Chain A
């Protein structure tokens, strides 16, 4: 199985900060990586797919980059509504796997 390691597992940042979450795959997955945001008690929401393609309707302050084994999600200017958990997901091969998650707290 492909392991996805996210870091950090928790981060606290101020409004307007630039925030970056990384996701490392245990083997190459090309660009078959997606990012999701999840708020407490809610279903995950797709933010980014194919490592860097912004899902329709997602604010442009979110961006993704990377390929192979190293990926990142960046929020250019953190907003109050960006709190929650963020997960990366590899869809290169079965079983599909998720990273352990990053909880983002807005100061």
Chain B
């Protein structure tokens, strides 16, 4: 059974930092791309960013709203994905979801590049 479990959420002051983790099981973590998606209270979904796999040099992509402040990394030996959030703003308050992205080889990706599995989310509140 595929499982993704986020942790590390909490209350942080504006300008502060927080690191989220996503522990996974039930699949070979090193193979697929991995993504973070967030949802502000009462709002829609917003993609945060992606970490590609080793075959694609672990390169990353980010949403414009978080570029330069957030860093995504992965540790294949620990089957875990991370989101380092710096210079946090009140508008970063959201539930942060970890999602399993597609399996991509030579530019061809599975599942139409969609996100098949999601974690339950971790709440991050940025407030003074």
- Say if the beta carbon of B64 comes within 8 Å of chain A: yes
Known: A43-B121, A95-B61. A49 touches B47 (CB 8 A): no
Known: A43-B119, A49-B111, A91-B114. A96 touches B44 (CB 8 A): no
Is A98 a contact of B62 with CB atoms below 8 Å?
Answer: no
Chain B residues within 8 Å of chain A by Cβ, number: 23
Is B47 a contact of A43 with CB atoms below 8 Å?
Answer: no
B interface majority secondary structure: mixed
Size category of the binding interface on chain A: 20 to 34
Is A101 a contact of B47 with CB atoms below 8 Å?
Answer: no
CA distance A87 to B118 in the complex (A): 15
**Residue interface bits B12-53, CB-to-A below 8 A is 1, else 0:** 000000000000000000000001010000001111001000
In whole Å, how far is A85's beta carbon from the nearest beta carbon of chain B? 8
Is B116 a contact of A101 with CB atoms below 8 Å?
Answer: no
- Say if the beta carbon of B115 comes within 8 Å of chain A: yes
Is B64 a contact of A49 with CB atoms below 8 Å?
Answer: no
| B-chain residues with CB within 8 Å of residue A34 when the two chains form the complex | 112-115
Most chain A CB neighbours (cut-off 10 Å) among B61, B102, B111: B111
What is A's interface to B at a CB cutoff of 8 Å? 1, 31-34, 36, 38, 42-46, 49-51, 53, 55, 85, 87, 89, 91, 94-101
List of 5 A-B pairs having minimum Cβ-Cβ separation, nearest first: A50-B112, A49-B112, A34-B114, A43-B118, A91-B113
11 intermolecular pairs with C-beta atoms under 8 Å apart: A34-B113, A42-B120, A46-B114, A49-B111, A49-B113, A49-B114, A89-B45, A95-B47, A95-B62, A96-B47, A98-B45
